[in-house]
Each structure stands twice: as structure tokens, then as C-alpha cells.
Structure 1
Amino acid sequence: MLKDDLAILNHPLDTGMLLRKSRGLRRKLRTVAGLEPIRVAVLGGSTTAEVIKFIDVFLLSNGFDPEFYESGYNRFFEDAMFDNEALDSFDPQFIYIHTSSVNIHSWPDPFDSEEAVSALVESTYEKYESVWKSLKHKYNATIIQNNFESPFSRPLGNYDATIATGRTQFVNRLNAMFADYARQDESLILHDLHYQASWFGLEHWYDKKQWYAYKYAMNLDVFPLIGESVSAQIRAVLGKSKKCLVCDLDNTLWGGVVGDDGVDGIRIGNETPEAEAYREIQEYVRDLKARGVILAVCSKNEKDHAESGFSHPDSVLNATDFSSFKANWQSKDRNIGAVAEEINIGKDALVFMDDNPVERKLVADNQPEVCVPTIGDDPSRYIELIDKSGYFEITSLNNDDQNRSVMYSQNKQREEQQSIFSDYSEFLVSLEMKAEIAPFSAMYLPRISQLTNKTNQYNLTTKRMSEQELTLYSESSEYTTLYGRLADIYGDNGLVSVVLAHQKNRTLHVDLWLMSCRVIKRDFEWAMFFALKKDAIKRGCDEIIGYFIPTKKNKLVSKHYEILGFSCIKQNGDGSSVWCLSLLDDVPAPSIAIEITNEM
């Protein structure tokens, strides 16, 4: 079965097995229906055939069907800087620049002045900056650039890390400059090759026989790790990173069984090696939450026993850190489904962490969309096996990420509030909702791009857009760009809706309309519609044309335009449809319980 074949992609990776079986696995994966096509250009400073092979297999295993452009050997600079009809025709969505320390051809002399070293650092860096700027100018693509691993040799020994002319110092300065550029330009993402090499071990990273014979910049065993890591970044850009870590408790977040051993008997803290391992696991989980990962509990336990475990004086986490807390005696596969439903996210956004192989198999068999890593039963390795798998890879951080868990807790309060109203409209009024709806601004572009790449259910066309694309649209007078924020008495939902439309003659065509699931059924689509209609009239348009393209996940919005008063003017065999709203007719609109706090 394909599912069994995919087990070799789980951590810890058996790179030897992967090298032997990757071709057959890729062939099988390409037969899977519904793969999403993407185009990836790989521009290399060394031989890139193996790294492409493993980017391919990891993308295929995550539902993508990648097509590749491969530069000639060490032609990354030429392909970027000069005319290239083949690359132009390929029109890449992603450009991965696979360079490494073997591409540093000029190192400082041990007796160079600091000024001479700085000049050499600058000239080396400028070559890469010119590549990034040229690619950005020519292609609407996300650029992924390796930084540099530590050098193969240190002629100055340990002093190499101290003196300005040391090769280690030289690499560190270049890497800092790469990072500075990536922070300032959203089109560039750094791939941390330096960390990959440190983790793998430099002694085994370099294989000079392979370099001299085939111009592989690193050991063949490294390529599966790089392929997995780069594919995780591509998935993150496309909104396919995981969103929620669902945790078992006993022997997963603490040692022992709290229901049998009591709070005093569970093992966490600093007293024993095992207790220290569990404390560090909780610290890691807490840090995931701090950067936006949603936490949930799925445990076979009495709820009061389960919650009491977090009252242990050495517990890092609190029961309130979890947006969903399923502690009961139902099967875990059912509870996992309930977690997804309660949080209102897809099951494919969940990672389930459990020390028990029977429970892992139950969930993997009955909830195949859920990611179930084989973490084993050694708590000293749990963090490694979760962290190195790249489940929660990100390419940016924003305030919504920081506040995500708070927002889900606020949604629980709203649900509780709704239950006391028999009239739903009265419930909406009680929320005292306030909205900000305005054209795109630079401050919100990272979040807008994140929404376009992550939102699947309330998304009419599921078009994915980078910050670079969105910037171009926001600067064009032909486009209407709208973002929407929504707050109420329980808190700020953040930026939750995006509309993008372009004008052609006297018609406004809606290219993108999406909304976060956490504000569904709040009439916010009407608030966005009123703003869109107002802008269309201001432009002198006679009509608005909307498009619906069905996917596996957006059935929720199949009647979106019909509800807003549009008429269907075209229904296609694939389920897609085209809708029209005349602005010449005076059609009454419903009143909504949302106060717009800004005027466009």
C-alpha cells in the first residue's frame, strides 16, 4: 500500500533507504488524483539532480505535483542575470538557489586588513544580491536562497572563529547580510543550510570524493534532508503547514499516568533525567504556541485528572494553553475529529503526538488526513522528531500569529454567548461588532498573503498570491483591494477577509474573495460586499462579475454570490460558475449588526 511506502518519509529519515527507493515512490505518488501543480526552478552552484529528486518526493507526498526547471552546472548567476527564454517560458512560482560554501571562491588572506576583508565580504554578497534583484524583476516568484554552511577547512584553526580574516568569521558575516536582506524583502526566503550542516555534522557533510567526481557540494545522504527542508518552506508559502498540535498527556507531556500516580507522582521538572526531558518537551510545546501553533489535548483520562496534571509545580504548560481539551474515554480517532470540528480547521492541519503506538495507529488508520509522527517512547527524542519534520514551518510572523490561541478562546466565549439566545440576530447585535475595511496597506500585506495561501473553505477562487504580487495589485489603479478586520466585545479577530477585483471597461471583476472561518455567519461577507459595491460605483462601473471555482473544501461558499443578490450567467460542467450583479438596479440590502469604524 502507498501508505506503507510513505513511512520511509517519517523521521528519523533512513537516508540510505530513501536513496534506493525514491524513484519508485515518486512514480507511485504521481498516480494519486488531485495533486496541485506547481513550478519550481532550481538554479545551482553545484550538481542539483539529487536535491531536485528529494524536493520532488516530499512535495508529491504532500499533495503537490511539481514541475522542475534545472539550470546547468554552476549556472545560477548566468540564468538569473541574462536573458533565458527557457526559464521565461517556464514562469516559475518558486526559485531555489542551491549554492553553498563551495561557491565562495575568494577567501580572506590571513594578514588582510579589516578594510580589505570588509570589501571582500561586500563584493561576495553583492553578487548574490544582484541575482535576487534580477530574479525579482523578471519573475513573480518566491526565491529560496541557501545561506552558507561552515567551511570545510580552517587554516587558522580555532583562531579562525576569532580573527576577521578567518573563514568561519567570513561565512558568519555573509550569512548575517543574507538574513538582513531577507527581513527587508518579502520575495526572498532564507533556507538555513548552516543549521542543516551543523545538525548533520560537518565531518560527514562534506564528501570530497563526490565533489571531485560529480560536483556534489555535500554528501549524498544530505540531499533527502535538504529536499524535505526546502519542500517544507514551499508548503509554508502555499499555506500547507500544519496549524495545530494535538497532544496526548500521560508519558507524552509528563512521565507517568496522572490518574493512577496522582499529581505528585507524575515526572516532570529537574530531579531526574526523565523529568527533565518532559519539562523540555513542555517548553518546546509552549514555544510553538507562542509563535501561533494551536494546542489541543486528546487523552484517555477523566477530565479533572487530566487538568490536574498541569497544576504540578514544575509544569510549564497550563490547561488554559489548549484551545480544545478532549479528556474522556472515547476513542482517540473520534476525539481528534471533535478537536478539528471545535477549532474549525481541517483535519489535514493537525499533528497528533502520542507515545502509544496502538493509539497512533488507530488515529492514522481512521483519520488519514491527520499527521501522526512515530515519536516512539523515548521522551529525549520527541522534540527532535517533531521539530525536524518541518510540520509547522513558517516564512513570516505577524500579530495574528501571536494572538491565534487567544482568538480561538474568544470564539469559545462567543459560542457560549450564542447558546443563551433563541434569536440569532439578537446574538449578533449582542456582540457589538466593529469592522475596519480599507484598501491593502503595506503593514498588512504579510497577513493578506498568508490568508490567500491558507484559506480554503471560505475562498471563492482559491488563488494563491505572494506579497510581491499583492504589492503590485495594491499599486495599480485598475484594481480594487480590500481587507477587513473585525472586533467585538470578546476581542479582536484580526484581519479576516480579503477581496481583490480588477476593472475592465465598466465592469468590476472579482478575482479573489476569501474570509477566515472564524468569522463565518457574522454577516461580515455583507460588510465586505457593501465596501466592494461602493468602490465599483465610485469607479463608474455598471456591474460586478464574480467567479466561483469549486474545490474539495469550498462547498461552503457555493451559494455566496446568490445570497448577495447576484444572478448566475454561466454554469460550467466542472461546477465553476460566473455571477453578475447589475449596479443600475436599486436592490434593497439587509441591515447588519456591524459598525464600520472607518470611511474609505
Structure 2
Amino acid sequence: MDVNSKLPVSPPRPVSALIGLLDRQGGLVRDVHPVRVMFLRNFTIEPIAPFLKYHLLRDEIRAELGFGNYGDYVQAILSGDIKVNGSDPDVIVSSLLLEPFHKDFEISNWEDDPGPRIEALFDAILERTRAVVVANTFLRPDPVLFGHRRAGDRSLDIRTTGLNQVIREYAEFHPSRFVLIDFEAILMRFGAKASLDARSWYSSLAPFRFDFLDRYAREIGNVIRSLRGHAKKCLVLDCDNTLWGGVVGEDGIKGVDLDPNGNPGRIYYDFQKSVLQLESRGVVLALCSKNNEEDVLDLLDQHPHCLLNRDHIAAHRINWLPKHQNLSSLSDELNLSTDSMVFVDDSEVEQGLIESLMPEVMVLPVPQKLHQLPRLFLEHDPFDVLSKTEEDRSRTRMYQEQQGRKRYKERLGSVEEYLKSLGTCVRVHEATSEEIARVSQLTQKTNQFNLTTRRYSEAEIQAMAGDEESAVYTLSVSDRFGDSGLTGVFIAKRKQETGRVDTFLMSCRVLGRELETAFASECINHLCASWGNLYWTAEYIPTSKNEQTADFWPSFGMEQTGKTKEGVTFSADAQDLKLTVPSHISLEPVTT
């Protein structure tokens, strides 16, 4: 386990201690591909650097930061002067305050509406770059910084709120590349005096204190974590004194606290609402509880105020076995690595056991101050993804269908009989505009069957899909148990007479059915027909999670031709490749 991942969630104080820690441990990050972040700003935002680097250090992500000239953000975008160490940025952070942005910010009647100007700025960034954009709402000028503001003057509040609504609507219309951070919410959380520093504002145009900078950096870090495939996928929940108050085996269904009209029942009820919000975003829910299974399942079915039910739960382990064994068992059943799990429990003993024996699992304790429980995932949101797809909305159902496949397989006499009886049908085609978000999401989230683990934004996928020298294919799978949705991506690039497989990945939910052979074969067959009979190259870039793919290209008929600092290269003439579609798979013809 990497030592940095066990750093505390909150950075050390003061800033000098934080910088010292970064000096000691920052060099331990083995990330060979740093994420490049450019700040376009109209105030001094450089103090955020150690906070952002700290939160990325916890995820073993190395960051290179660039800061545009003060107030020069429009010209920087128009001129293309936004490089970070000579490379295009992966993320552009638009850090803007109202006073420097709008010269008439204090005048109650704004003659110059700044709304179109802020939209034009965002349009220019999206059109001229492929970066993900992180913007902020404007803070209403506060007396802590602007002591001369007239008491009772609401007109400025109203106009600032209207301008922020323009920004929010822009974010809603551009969900794939535009992320909004609510400065007002951060300010309300810590208070103006704890967030804003008048002396630093007047001396160096640096308005924010420690807590505000830390929260701002965390939210930027969540975006980067998602881009780099570090978002968690599975939430494993204890039950007693976690999903409800009390012990169901002792108190009975009617005796547990879950009534939203009382305390502490309202706390647990609101916590369940936050859990359901995660499930709707595609987070896989599982239960791990030392309990009698029948007691827990009856409560899920019968309690009038229990929001969670069996349909929300992809898998459960409700028994008296040690919880580390149950987490391993859940990992096997769901085919998700344990480092993609977040475990919530009220017992310090259970928390310590998992932290000791399974340090790769993220452990979130039920807060000692119970009223903080409903906000647990606002404090820690390791599940952040940039956009939500149809597959996300159906993920629990798809995992339940997968459990049906496993039970069906156990009843049959052989693997061959099982595969033939599934009635697997696959659809392979070039990615459509509606699929770009899902393709990008798969490159960012898929770790196990992913031969190169290259992470791509939606803009980058869109560019490759529209390039005559590139091709982006998708795989969708269905069988007798249901539709698994878009679960595979194949990206190839051509240079003269050589085709190169840039990305080949498949969701772990559809592995074990020889679909990878059919998918790669069909994509290469189609490209040979459209591009010509090519010489093909491919790579395997090893990670801690994709060892199962190490021998794929040799099994496909390619020979190892070399090694790079990242991995292994393979090549073969098209006629030497083993392009086959297994007989138990029904393949719809490739469409473009």
C-alpha cells in the first residue's frame, strides 16, 4: 500500500508544516504522467498550490501547476498562451472574483451586463482547448473585505445572484467538460471571518484563508481524481447504528431509530437519502453487517421509513464472519477490486481491522457527532465522476443480473454449456456522439481489463472520433439475463501503413465470456477493410491492476518487439493475427 494514501484527509497546519510535508513525501509519488493544471485568474490564487498538491498526493497523483498572468485570462485563451511546462493543460481552473471582473460591481444599476462576457470567456476556453474547465460562482462582496459596502443594500446581492445563475445554467448545458465550484457554499460553511483575509487582500490581492483554500483545493482534486481513474466505485455499509439507530436483532424492526419525525431517526433517514443519491450516480451499494440475515432483509422490506430496499443493494454479506473476509468475498462477487471500495461502519474495532488488514479500502467512520452523518459524503466524496451516463443509472440492476449469470453458471455442467446457453449478442460500431460521455468515462474508470490505462476527456474522445487517422469503436452486450450496455472501447490510430491500438478496454462485468477476442477481431477486421491490410502494433502498459491482460496480444497472434520505460510493445502483419469470433457469440455487423 502506498504510504501517501494514508495521509490524513485534512492537511497539517500551519501552511509551513504543509509545505514541509510536501517536501518530504512529494518525491515518493511514482506517477509518470503528471496532471497539468492551469489557473486563469484575476486575483492571487498561488497560495492554493500546496493544498492541491497535498490532496493529489493522497491519491498518488503528481501535479504540475501553471498560473496565468493576473487579469490576463482572455488574452491568454485567445493567444493560446496557457501551456504548463510546455504542454497543454488537462484542467483549466477559472478563478475569478467579482470586483476585478466587473468594474461597476458596487453600482446598483449595472449598465454593462457581465453575463454575456462570462459566457464568452467559457465558450472560448471550451472551443480552443480540450481541457476540463473548473469555474466558480462569484462571491457577493463581503464587508470583511469591502468594509464600505452600504448596510441593507440588497441590489448588489440580487445582481450577483443573477450572474451566478447564468454560470449555473452554463454548467448545466455543458456537463461533460464544465465543473462548477460554489464559492458561496464554501463561505457559508466556514464563515466570512474564517474564510477571508482583508490584510492579505489589500497587500497582495490574496483574499482566502487556510480553510477556504483547503476546501477549494479538495473540490478541484475531486475533478482530477475522476479524470485519472481514482474515483471509488463501491460503497459498503454496516447496518446497525449506521443505516439506522439501534440493533435490529435486539430492538426489532419497530424498535430501531429511523423515523424522520424524531431524533436521532431523522439523522439516519437523511443519511439513507444521501446513500440513495450515490446509487443514482452509479455507485454500487453493498451491505456488510454482523447480523442475522433475515432480520436485516425483513427491515429493508418492512420498515415504513427505510428508504433503502433490496433493489438498491447489488450484494450483501450479513453473517458473523470477520468483516475483512466478507469484503474480500464481496470483491470477488462484484468483480471489483477492494481498492475501489469505501467502507462505512460505526465500530472502531471494525474500522481498525479493515485499516490494518485491508489498507487499500477507504474507511469512513460514522461520526462521533452523529448529526454530521448525513453530510458524510459532502465531507468525503471519493465517488466523483464528471458526467452521469445511462449505464450509471442502471448499474445496480446490471450487477444483479450478473449475479443471476453466476448462479446459472453454477447449475450447469460446463463452461462451454454455460456460454452457449447465454445467448450472447454483441454490437460493435464506431462511437456515436451520444456515446462519447460513456466512452470517456470508461477510459477514466476501467482499470482491470485495460491494456494501456490511458485516460481521456470527452473532448479528446470527440477529437479522435472525428479524425480520419483515428477510429473509436464501442462494444455493447446483451444476453438472456439482460442488457449490459456499453462495456468496451477500442481506439486505433493510423500512421501511413501501420495501425496502432491505442486503447483496448472492457468493463469487468462482461469478462469471462471471450468477448474480448470477438471485439478486437471485429474492430481490426473492419479497419483492415477500410484502411487497407495494415501492419499492426499494440502495447501493454502494466499497472497494479491489469496483470490479467499481460498475455492478450501474444494470444492474439502478436509478437513482442520491444520494451519502453512504460511497458511492452507488440506487432504483427494483419494476416498473422488470430481474428476469430467464438461460436457462442452472435455478432451484429459493424456499423459506422
Pair 1:424 & 2:415 matched? yes
Q: Which residue of 1 aligns with 2:389?
A: 398
Q: Which residue of 1 aligns with 2:439?
A: 448
SS of the residue aligned with 1:465? coil
Q: Which residue of 2 aligns with 1:82?
A: 79
Q: Which residue of 1 aligns with 2:169?
A: 180
In 2: Cα distance, 1:231 partner to 1:58 partner: 6
1:480-495 equivalence runs, <5 A: 480-495=471-486
In 1: Cα distance, 2:212 partner to 2:424 partner: 52
1:218-297 equivalence runs, <5 A: 218-297=208-287
Q: 1:387 to 1:109 in 2, by over 3 A?
A: closer
1:545-564 equivalence runs, <5 A: 545-564=537-556
In 2: Cα distance, 1:20 partner to 1:332 partner: 40
Q: Give the superposition deviation at 1:401.
A: 0.8
In 1: Cα distance, 2:547 partner to 2:318 partner: 32
Q: Give the superposition deviation at 1:439.
A: 0.5
SS of the residue aligned with 2:329? helix
Give the letter aligned to residue 17 of structure 2: K
In 2: Cα distance, 1:195 partner to 1:361 partner: 33
Do the aligned partners of 2:238 and 2:345 also contact (CA within 8 Å) in 1?
Answer: yes
Q: 1:359 to 1:466 in 2, by over 3 A?
A: same
Pair 1:96 & 2:87 matched? no
> Structure 1: which 5+ runs fail to align?
161-165
Do the aligned partners of 2:93 and 2:133 also contact (CA within 8 Å) in 1?
Answer: yes
| Superimposed CA distance per residue, residues 174-195 of structure 1 (whole angstroms, 9 cap, x where no aligned partner) | 2232233334443332223232
Of 411, 427, 430, the residue aligned with 2:402 is 411
Q: Give the superposition deviation at 1:80.
A: 2.7
Q: Which residue of 2 aligns with 1:205?
A: 195
| Superimposed CA distance per residue, residues 512-564 of structure 1 (whole angstroms, 9 cap, x where no aligned partner) | 11111110011211221232222232121233222211111111111112222
Q: Percent identity?
A: 26
Of 287, 296, 312, the residue aligned with 2:303 is 312
Runs of 4+ in 1 over 4 A off after TM superposition: 1-7, 85-88, 108-111, 153-159, 585-588
SS of the residue aligned with 1:287? helix
In 2: Cα distance, 1:482 partner to 1:410 partner: 25
Q: 1:527 to 1:167 in 2, by over 3 A?
A: farther
SS of the residue aligned with 1:396? coil
1:3-22 equivalence runs, <5 A: 6=6, 8-9=8-9, 13=10, 17=13, 19-22=15-18
Do the aligned partners of 1:480 and 1:535 also contact (CA within 8 Å) in 2?
Answer: no
In 2: Cα distance, 1:107 partner to 1:167 partner: 10
Pair 1:35 & 2:27 matched? no
Greater mean alpha carbon deviation, residues 202-211 or residues 58-67: 202-211
Aligned residues: CA RMSD:
2.6
Pair 1:363 & 2:354 matched? yes
| Superimposed CA distance per residue, residues 195-253 of structure 1 (whole angstroms, 9 cap, x where no aligned partner) | 22232334543332221123113233311111111101111122211111111111111
Give the letter aligned to residue 277 of structure 1: I
Do the aligned partners of 1:100 and 1:217 also contact (CA within 8 Å) in 2?
Answer: no
Q: Which residue of 2 aligns with 1:543?
A: 535
Q: Give the superposition deviation at 1:44.
A: 2.4
> Structure 2: which 5+ runs fail to align?
none
| Superimposed CA distance per residue, residues 87-130 of structure 1 (whole angstroms, 9 cap, x where no aligned partner) | 47143222222223343333467664xxx65x513354255336
| Superimposed CA distance per residue, residues 473-495 of structure 1 (whole angstroms, 9 cap, x where no aligned partner) | 11111112211111112111111
Q: Under a length normalisation based on structure 1, what TM-score does the superposition of the two structures give?
A: 0.90
Q: Which residue of 2 aligns with 1:323?
A: 314
Do the aligned partners of 2:514 and 2:582 also contact (CA within 8 Å) in 1?
Answer: no
Greater mean alpha carbon deviation, residues 96-105 or residues 469-478: 96-105
Q: 1:295 to 1:93 in 2, by over 3 A?
A: same
Q: Give the superposition deviation at 1:590.
A: 5.1
Of 553, 565, 584, the residue aligned with 2:575 is 584
In 1: Cα distance, 2:564 partner to 2:224 partner: 32
Q: Under a length normalisation based on structure 2, what TM-score does the superposition of the two structures give?
A: 0.91
In 1: Cα distance, 2:466 partner to 2:186 partner: 39
Q: 1:414 to 1:477 in 2, by over 3 A?
A: same
In 2: Cα distance, 1:388 partner to 1:83 partner: 36
Q: 1:250 to 1:497 in 2, by over 3 A?
A: same
Pair 1:459 & 2:459 matched? no
Do the aligned partners of 1:357 and 1:376 also contact (CA within 8 Å) in 2?
Answer: no
SS of the residue aligned with 2:13? helix
Q: Which residue of 2 aligns with 1:170?
A: 159
1:519-530 equivalence runs, <5 A: 519-530=510-521
The count of corresponding residues between Structure 1 and Structure 2 is: 583
Give the letter aligned to residue 48 of structure 1: I
In 2: Cα distance, 1:594 partner to 1:366 partner: 41
Q: Which residue of 2 aligns with 1:379?
A: 370
Q: Give the superposition deviation at 1:410.
A: 0.7
Do the aligned partners of 1:108 and 1:120 also contact (CA within 8 Å) in 2?
Answer: no
Give the letter aligned to residue 168 of structure 2: A
Give the letter aligned to residue 94 of structure 1: V
| Superimposed CA distance per residue, residues 341-367 of structure 1 (whole angstroms, 9 cap, x where no aligned partner) | 221112221111111112111111111
SS of the residue aligned with 1:89? coil
Pair 1:23 & 2:32 matched? no
Q: 1:442 to 1:575 in 2, by over 3 A?
A: closer
Of 134, 141, 145, the residue aligned with 2:135 is 145
Greater mean alpha carbon deviation, residues 570-579 or residues 354-363: 570-579
1:495-514 equivalence runs, <5 A: 495-514=486-505
Q: Give the superposition deviation at 1:171.
A: 2.3
Give the letter aligned to residue 221 of structure 2: S
Do the aligned partners of 2:51 and 2:213 also contact (CA within 8 Å) in 1?
Answer: yes
In 2: Cα distance, 1:44 partner to 1:147 partner: 13
Q: 1:589 to 1:276 in 2, by over 3 A?
A: closer
Greater mean alpha carbon deviation, residues 489-498 or residues 503-512: 503-512
Pair 1:334 & 2:322 matched? no
Do the aligned partners of 1:47 and 1:74 also contact (CA within 8 Å) in 2?
Answer: no
| Superimposed CA distance per residue, residues 429-456 of structure 1 (whole angstroms, 9 cap, x where no aligned partner) | 2221222211111100011000001111
Pair 1:596 & 2:592 matched? no
Q: Which residue of 1 aligns with 2:183?
A: 193
Do the aligned partners of 2:534 and 2:574 also contact (CA within 8 Å) in 1?
Answer: yes
Q: Give the superposition deviation at 1:599.
A: 4.0
In 1: Cα distance, 2:577 partner to 2:321 partner: 55
Q: 1:159 to 1:404 in 2, by over 3 A?
A: farther
Of 257, 265, 289, the residue aligned with 1:299 is 289
Greater mean alpha carbon deviation, residues 408-417 or residues 257-266: 257-266
Give the letter aligned to residue 142 of structure 1: V
In 2: Cα distance, 1:194 partner to 1:473 partner: 38
Do the aligned partners of 2:7 and 2:58 also contact (CA within 8 Å) in 1?
Answer: no
Greater mean alpha carbon deviation, residues 200-209 or residues 333-342: 200-209
Do the aligned partners of 1:229 and 1:390 also contact (CA within 8 Å) in 2?
Answer: no
Q: Which residue of 2 aligns with 1:214?
A: 204
Of 103, 114, 123, the residue aligned with 1:121 is 114
In 2: Cα distance, 1:578 partner to 1:558 partner: 11
Q: Give the superposition deviation at 1:72.
A: 3.6
In 2: Cα distance, 1:588 partner to 1:355 partner: 53
Q: Which residue of 1 aligns with 2:44?
A: 47
SS of the residue aligned with 2:316? strand
